[in-house]
Structure 1
Amino acid sequence: MAATLDLNHSSVSEFILVGFSTFPPHLLPIFFLLFLLMYLFTLLGNLLIMATVWSERGLHTPMYLFLCALSISEILYTLSITPRLLADLLSTRRTIAFAACISQMFFSFMFGFTHSFLLTVMGYDRYVAICHPLRYNVLMSPHGCACLVAWSWAGSSVMGLVVTMAIFHLNFCGPREVHHFFCHVPPLVKLACGTHVPVVALGVGLVCITTLLGCFLLILLSYAFIVAAILKIPSAEGRHKAFSTCASHLTVVVMHYGFASVIYLKPKAPQSLEGDTLMGITYTILTPFLSPIIFSLRNKELKAAMKKTFLRKLYPQSS
């Protein structure tokens, strides 16, 4: 990835990540332990979801195929940011090489966009299941589902590459201190020099916001049709059963876009470094941490399958 970009145009060979530098030193080990536990739980939760779906034939459906793809993207997204964050919490030298910064930005954007695309695909899956149940097996065939997942990954790769190349073709000739805990666009743009920096920053911002807003509007459109279809179901039990299949997905969507809007759409008012860091933590650590919990607890079918799989591992003689 780094080799595809021309690094000779910049006089900066490394950056200094100062996201946690203003926090009291005695709090950093506490943050390290807390974030480490959350990171391990995120990995464990997503791996447990994937293992359960893999082992239970009853879960070999499009909805759970997309959930597995979502778990993979969350694991890879946290892997691109959190290990480096944990290392910096215990280090006094928080430098990151120019090439490593490029790689981190590319992978964080790639897997972040993958998450948004897959949530959109999952919304479409719920729309087809509730609004067109008789055509579900045709519209959501194994080949069609595989194509949707593949296009999600391909599209996110292109988006990550476009954003990363746009930012790192700027000149970085001044200060090296990145006011964040990873290589994020806004603090890096502030370090760039040249007359075309505002144009690049505006272009990257419009591309990201348009893409995310487009995904969100497609999800809203899917749920508008879903709600209309559910309201036509005569029995209260039928309406509750239909909506319960969407509850976990809808909760994750609200959380995902809620935290993202706080970070990316906040007004450009003076903000402390501590405030920016804590807001970034909500999206990069808290959201992936909560996502497997929500899917596990609010999806009755998945929760029952997890209990069955877990008990079978503990008591193999009873299966």
Structure 2
Amino acid sequence: MSYSVVFLDVPYFHNYYLSRIRNIGETCSMTLSCTSDFNDMRKSIEFAFQNSDGLFIIYPKKLWHKLQKIMLVSFERPSVFKEEAYIVASGFKKLSDGIFSDIVYGKPVVFVPQELDDSFDFSELKKLFNIKSQVIGVFEGNINTQNTIFSDEVLSYIKLENNNMFDSKIQKSKIFTYSAQDCNQALIEVLEKTLTKLSIADLSTNGCFTSKLMSQEKSKNYIALCIDKCPIESLSYFFGIDQKYIEKYGYFSQSIAKEISNALLQFSNSDCSITILNNNQYNRFLFFVLYKDETFDMLIREFYGTYNIVRQKVTNFAILFLREFILSRSL
């Protein structure tokens, strides 16, 4: 397996750490160095984690609080936030002073302090990096797991032994990742692979859907048009939908969604469009995906919870529903 190493504001002597880490006997696929800026640290750690099978984070004591916050925000690991350095995120095991490790979403993550003790033997980590399982992401999964995000209605992360991977009863078309990546990354990969240009009318999540997609740098190459908000009264102005047509079919309808999606394709010259609508109670949501050859798919789903929780559920569902539609065209 491969691993990445991220240096957090550690400008010198990288080879000292790398030569020690090599004792685990695996392949170093990437090394990154970043400043002490929180966003710079977070982006570097997330990128390295997503693009390798394991991660080493070399950090100075002064950045410990920022590092804890990143583990909470990016990896859902609660932190203790004490003044003393080396108080680690929940679940991590102390191996030596300042050295902690755990499996995060199926991948080993190791914290190594800048003030590394020469006596620590990195070969002790070989077992940690000898992983015989994978974490897969399943759309609309209904399996109890340790790392579950909205599995009640949208998606699950499931850890499976490698030798059981192909014997699993999970529907293969529902698996969106074999490397514990986020669903938005999985969609961007499909857009890239199929060279699909996308236009969006997210009239339901108040920008959550678009924001999640646009958080991926490559998205700018495949998203041609985004509309995040449009009052019902403005549908005729923006999309050319007659007011009498809206009164006849109702705003929350396949007919209106199709008109909006058609307009998106015309405005942007994109290959595919998605429209998301909601009812007045904000518990029923309409997802309409249209391709330029006029093939389409439509679903209405119900989601419950607080406003922000529902937005996240709708966003994740829209991402994976859209991905599944695009992939179905290449079968």
| Fold shared by both chains (TM-score > 0.5) | no
TM-score (norm 2): 0.24
The structure whose residues are more often strand, as a share, is: 2
